[in-house]
Structure 1
Amino acid sequence: MQKKTLSLKWLLLGSLITNTGISFIWPLTTIYMHEYLHESLTTAGIVLFADSLFMIIGNYLGGLLFDRWNRYYTTLCGISLATIATGFLIFFHGWPAYPLFLILSGLGNGIVATCINSFATVVAGRPASYVFNLLYFTNNLGLVLGTLIVGFILPYGITYIFVLAFSLFALFLIVAAITYRVDPIKNPINRAKAATQVLNRRSQHQIFLLLFTLFVTWVAYEQWQSNIAAYMVAHQMTVKDYSLLWTFNAVLIVLLQPILTYFDQFLLKHLHGRMYLGFTLFASSFALLLIAKSYHLFILAMGVLTIGEILALPAVSTYVDQRVTLSQKGRYQGLVNVFASAGRAVGPLVGATIIESSSYQLVFLLCVCSILLATVFFALGNRTTGEKQTNNQ
């Protein structure tokens, strides 16, 4: 029987399972293709780019179908695609089967990510900002658990990794099939009337300024996940030192995100300031990298980045949710994921191109300037829109 609302615990469980399953597979792609399948690093990079591209397609498709078709079946289709593709990887993980099923899994997970974000806007009894904070926590917890487990399982063979990922996706498919059959509209209204609601041009302008800022931020963030490792090694630090930075990142998120969730009402009242501060801290972390020569400065930069991350990134979805109409929840949450995925896709390539033609210092400087400029334009757009709305009242 169809329920009226989706329970928060099932949404968070879905987020945790999905991100744990993804983190079993995605981080291993480059190593597996290069060391086991004996493909070049360039080929591995192309496959990762294709995976990101199909995840973007899944993000957009998920939002479109969530709004215009059926929310329950859209979610199940996404999970089923990821489950089937991962199931095939258990038996067919050579070349070219591995990249094919990896990309199909990325498409399914892109759909699922948007559906989870879209359902988050309509969980009963909790404001969307509170739910997005918790989702950000479970997303990162899943990534931490996944990468931790992989380290213990991989020595026994890659097949066991795919078995675990398949089992998790299959579990989520069962959970979603039972618990996600809901009507997520908090305040039931005429659906035909909802479908005709159109977002005004000023709100669209605001949202796309923010999404551009999100894109720029993720392009910069990807430097931490790709090119900064080589930069640290060049400064006589080890790969272990680099990996410990991400352990520090994960610990900070796990410790600080629940605190932010506790102060959700205060942060919701100061949503714009929260984002401005978060994006500014993001930029500041790269300013620190400009002068970082010792390991403690890299730790400090990562700490500043992480605080900026937990302030800004969950707030983006909340901001978008506040401005869209009921019939456009899925589409715009899909666009949030699209712009983030696009930044993740092009970030390593952009950074590597600049580094090869110039220097790491230029990359860091461009990251500082681009994030700050994008944030300023977004802030100006907010102020202008606010003034116009006030004048129209």
Structure 2
Amino acid sequence: MYEKLRQDPIKLRWLFIGSLIINTGISFIWPLTTIYMHEYLHETLTVAGIVLLFNSGFTMIGNYLGGWLFDHWWPYLTILGGIAIATISTGLLIFWHGWPTYAILLVTLGLGNGIVATGINSIATLVKSRQPSYVFNVLYFTSNLGLVFGSLIVGYILPLGIQYIFTIAFVLFVLFFVMALITFRQLDQSKQAAKQHAAVVSDRLERTREKLPIILLLLTLFVSWVAYEQWQSNISAYMIHLGMDVKLYSHLWTVNAVLIVVLQPLLTHFDDFLLKHLRGRLYTGFFLFCTSFLILLFAKQFAWFVLAMSVLTIGEIIAFPAVSTFVNERASFAEKGRYQGLVALSASAGRAVGPLIGALIIESFTYPILFIFSAVLIAVFTVVFMTSGIKRQTNRRQS
């Protein structure tokens, strides 16, 4: 048993490759939803928004379900089941991508992707050869790299026909399923061995005690994603309102991608230092997020938008991977999958409601009010999260 305990459940390269494949496949599909439904299926933007909302909702269900199954069922079958749902949904889309079949299959695809996303992060909690923080950092890098690959390629393939988009995504999902089928087989044994060991050496097996800091951090992550979604939805309209074209907006995401690809490995190199200052890393990242929206208050030329996006991206790569690490350190062994599911669920929830909240604020007030609202929201929740750390330090000194 202890020999299995000392071993990683899978070789890390397979976990990272799997993350890269699944995120590349996902990025072939979700960015096209609004365009495809409006331009090809001739549905209204409202209908497209509703479909995206249901997709996000079922992704959240998948996030939580994947974590629960990872803890209480078989991790191996859980992640294979999630990949299978995504693969079957995408395969059917090749042949049936009209209305309303497209919408239904997009929702089931969200369920499968939610299970897989949580499953991958939950596997990271079982790794012994590296610090979990290192694994979460690299997973964040591979997920973003996959999104960059998919987003770059999809524009060249779409003119050939939407079925080619679904075919490539389907092939990628099949490749991941076969790879996971072969290389993830030791997951159940590793989980069981670690569970037996934890039962012997720890009384924190079944119950997570430090729940308040986790809850406060997840709320901070949620509001950060609500704000982040403004960049993917409403800020493009703001730039056009200022007389800039769509190409300039797309260049901002090139800046985002380049910074992530260049800086994320650099942060991974300093993983030991960042792990010792985990709370400071989180505070820094979220306050940079806040600062990026304050910069937007002064943005009238493209250079200001580049500056704001750069600050946002640096804050993103500092804070977001650290959330999983913080939660993993405080979750009991029996609930690690559940809490990694809650991390993914918090991000999915922010992505789901962010565009709607932003649109309501813009319609009722102005874009500057939206930027102030985003900055204040992140700052307030970050400060509240900080108080949990101050309170803990005070209790330690008193004891």
Q: TM-score range by the shorter chain?
A: over 0.9
Tell me the residue number matched to 2:83: 79
Q: Is the 8 A contact 1:122 1:186 kept in 2?
A: no
Using the alignment, how far apart are the partners of 2:361 and 2:266 within structure 1? 38
The alpha carbon displacement at 1:187 in A equals 7.0
Q: Does 2:194 correspond to 1:188?
A: yes
Matched, 1:136 2:133: no
Query: Does the 8 Å CA contact 1:79/1:112 hold for their aligned counterparts?
Result: yes
Distance 1:125 1:244 in 2: 39
* Secondary structure, aligned partner of 2:130: coil
Whether contact under 8 Å (1:121, 1:128) holds in the other structure is: yes
The match for 2:335 is 328
**Cα deviation per residue 1:161-195 (whole Å; 9 max; x = unaligned)?**
00000000000000001111123449735279489
Q: Decide which of 224, 232, 238 is 1:231's aligned counterpart.
A: 238
Q: Deviations over 1:355-392 (max 9, x none)?
A: 00111111100111110110000000111123324544
**Corresponding residue to 1:248 among 255, 276, 287:** 255
CA-to-partner distance for each residue in 1:244-282, whole Å, 9 max, x for gaps? Answer: 000110000000000000011111111111110100000
Aligned partner of 2:128 among 124, 127, 130 = 124
* Partner secondary structure for residue 291 of structure 1: coil
Q: Distance in 2 between matches of 1:25 and 1:390?
A: 52
Matching of residues 17-56 of structure 1 within 5 Å:
17-56=21-60
1:160-239, aligned counterparts within 5 Å?
Answer: 160-182=164-186, 183-185=189-191, 188-190=194-196, 193=199, 197-200=206-209, 203-239=210-246
Provide the residue aligned with 1:373 in structure 2: 380
Q: Is 1:305 matched up with 2:312?
A: yes
Q: What letter is aligned with 2:207? A: V
2:372 and 2:280 map into 1 onto residues whose CA distance is 24
Distance in 1 of aligned mates of 2:392 and 2:70: 29
User: Hey, what's the Cα distance between the residues in 1 that align with 2:383 and 2:192?
Assistant: 35
Deviations 1:33-81 (A, max 9, x none): 0000000000000000000000000000000000000100000000000
RMSD: 1.5
Aligned to 1:125, what secondary structure does the other structure show?
A: coil
Contact 1:120 1:132 in 2 (8 A): yes
* 1:341 and 2:348 aligned: yes
Q: CA deviation at 1:118?
A: 0.5
Per-residue deviation at 1:152?
Answer: 1.3
Residue 124 of structure 1, CA deviation? 2.8
Query: Runs ≥4 in structure 1, deviation > 6 angstroms?
Result: none
Q: CA deviation at 1:123?
A: 1.7
Q: Secondary structure at the match of 1:190?
A: helix
Q: Residues 68 and 191 from structure 1, CA distance in 2 versus in 1: closer, same or farther, beyond 3 angstroms?
A: farther
Whether 2:64 is the aligned partner of 1:60: answer: yes
Aligned-pair CA distance for 1:155: 1.0
CA distance in 2, matches of 1:146, 1:46: 24
Identity %, equivalent residues: 60
Aligned to 2:391: 384
1:16 to 16, 20, 24: 20
Counterpart position of 1:156:
160
Per the normalisation by structure 1, the TM-score is 0.96
For structure 2, which runs of at least 5 residues remain unmatched after alignment?
A: none
- 1:266 counterpart = 2:273: yes
Mapped partners of 1:170, 1:237: distance in 2: 41
Amino acid of the structure 1 residue aligned with 2:57: L
Q: 1:228, 1:69 → 2: CA distance?
A: 43
* Cα distance in 1, alignment partners of residues 8 and 245 from structure 2: 53
How far apart are the structure 1 equivalents of 2:100 and 2:216? Answer: 40
Paired residue for 2:366? 359
- Find the partner of 1:288 among 286, 295, 298: 295
Distance in 1, Cα, partners of 2:8 & 2:226: 39
In the alignment, is the contact (CA less than 8 A) between 2:198 and 2:333 conserved in 1? no
Please state how far the C-alpha of 1:149 moved relative to its aligned partner. 1.0
Q: Structure 1 CA distance, aligned partners of 2:36 and 2:53?
A: 16
Residue 316 of structure 1 is matched in structure 2 by: 323
Unaligned runs of 5+ in 1: none
Kept in 2, the 8 Å contact 1:62–1:111? The answer is: yes
- Measure the CA separation in 2 of the matches of 1:143 and 1:390: 45
Total equivalences in the alignment:
389
